[in-house]
Chain A
Amino acid sequence: MSDLPPALAELVDDFADVGPKDRLQLLLELSQELPDLPQRYQDAAATMEQVHECQSPLFLAVEVDDDADRRVHLFFSAPPEAPTTRGFAGIMVTGLDGEPAADVLAVPDDFYTALGLAQAVSPLRLRGMAAMLARIKKQVRAATAS
């Protein structure tokens, strides 16, 4: 996966290097490290997009800088009783936040299969992560189209 942004490639390696049980532990840590929403979104939850494909309520906002790289910033809101969904969001933030729009758009849609979570989490639950990436890309495309 040499075409992944460096932080995401590193995460994929971290997951690949350990067994299924430790992968769950990694995901749990990512869920705990998911940054809180900045105040401007806490006050404007309705402006965020709901990721319906996730089994628990998850809201997403994407901002794209006006600089030459059009760097992408991601914001997620998911309740503490949905740690798996928070963990998926944590993968996105850790792996993609601050990356140029072009690099985010170049992430393969099935990159998550390389995390090796299918066995520990189940393929059904993993689809939420695919949907998350698709929605991020859609918003990045919309923001960079004009």
Chain B
Amino acid sequence: MALPADTDAKLAEYAHPERLVTTEWLAQNLGAAGLVVVESDEDVLLYDTGHIPGAVKVDWHTELNDPVTRDYVDGERFARICGERGISRDSTVVFYGDRNNWWATYALWVFALFGHADVRILDGGRAKWVAEGRELTTEQPKPEPAEYPVVERDDRTLRAFKEDVLAHLGKPLVDVRSPGEYSGELLHMPDYPQEGAVRGGHIPGAASVPWAKAAAEDGTFKPRAELSALYEQEQGLSPSDDVVAYCRIGERSSHTWFVLTHLLGFEKVRNYDGSWTEWGNSVRVPIVQGSERGTA
């Protein structure tokens, strides 16, 4: 029951245009059967101040993470999260959120781990919807609960663990953190000291491409040609490469994962969600400091 793709001309340039929708498309399709809109924000209260009519909320901290183990929820819990929000296995799910869709792409990536087929991002996210003066409501939707099957999460295809990264050394890596974190001057992201590590620097060989470079001023993704210049021409990455992206906890890098996979058509990109909070705290893993990539 997938909804038709947005045929917008800018989107058509991307490798997989069906992974994005414009605000215009969403406004026209709100309420359509088979469509569920999900807001996923950094700020846990932002949805409650007003959201796209009918949109449901998924919070990564409190809902997508297992409350005890550092891992994502399992298949049963995921099925419950979806079912309660009226999401069935064949729903078209459109994610949007604050901060250039940072957390929206993260939520989409977690849905992708569970193999949910039709997941899309609202290009420009919450900020663009608001800037265009489109409708927001504080009315809580009451979705008809859906039956969502219990599916096993696939941790091999889109996700990398520390052991995978150790075996991957020498192949392309993208570090999407700020330049200060990459060089090792900062032990945490600017303004986020709670996600610290005992060692600073980057994984040997990693290219430095801060994630937000992929976003334009209005929060939309940059046009394909600019993204291609950023990752392919400037960094020498190629769509046939085996790439691992990382940040501190795997959320900023899910944004880059989305860009490489769906907008540029890279065939094999994995997100290392352990990221620097694991690597920079691990005993005896190789680290490079300074602005050069270094070698493994």
Q: A-side interface residues toward B, CB under 8 Å?
A: 24-25, 27-28, 31, 52-56, 80-85, 87, 119-122, 124-125, 127
Contacts and interface: CB of A to CB of B under 8 A. Distances in A.
A56 B42 CA distance: 9
B69 interface: no
Contact of A87 (B45, B61, B191, B192): B45
Contact of B61 (A54, A83, A124): A124
Contact of B192 (A25, A55, A119): A55
Contacts of B195: 124
B107 to A, nearest CB: 15
B191 A53 contact: yes
Contacts of B62: 119-122
Contact of B48 (A24, A52, A53, A127): A24
Given A24-B44, A28-B48, A81-B43, A124 B191 contact: no
B44 A120 contact: yes
Contacts of A82: 43, 46
Contacts of B49: 28, 31, 80, 83
Q: Is the interface of A mostly helix, strand, loop or mixed?
A: helix
Nearest to A51: B191
B133 interface: no
B123 interface: no
B191 A54 contact: yes
B46 A83 contact: yes
Contacts of A125: 44, 61
Contacts of B191: 52-55
Interface residues of B, number: 16
20 contacts: A25-B48, A28-B49, A53-B191, A53-B193, A53-B194, A54-B191, A55-B42, A55-B43, A81-B43, A82-B46, A83-B45, A84-B43, A84-B45, A119-B62, A120-B44, A122-B44, A122-B61, A124-B61, A125-B44, A127-B193
A24 B62 CA distance: 12
A15 to B, nearest CB: 14
B98 interface: yes
A80 B45 CA distance: 11
Interface string B26-59: 0000000000000000111110110000000000
B56 to A, nearest CB: 15
Most buried by A among B44, B62, B195: B44
Nearest to B65: A122
Nearest to A32: B49
Contacts of A119: 62
A122 B195 CA distance: 13
Contact of A24 (B45, B190, B192): B45
B45 A31 contact: yes
A81 B193 contact: no
Interface in B273-290: none
Contact of B43 (A25, A56, A120): A56
B155 to A, nearest CB: 23
Given A56-B43, A122-B62, A124-B61, A83 B193 contact: no
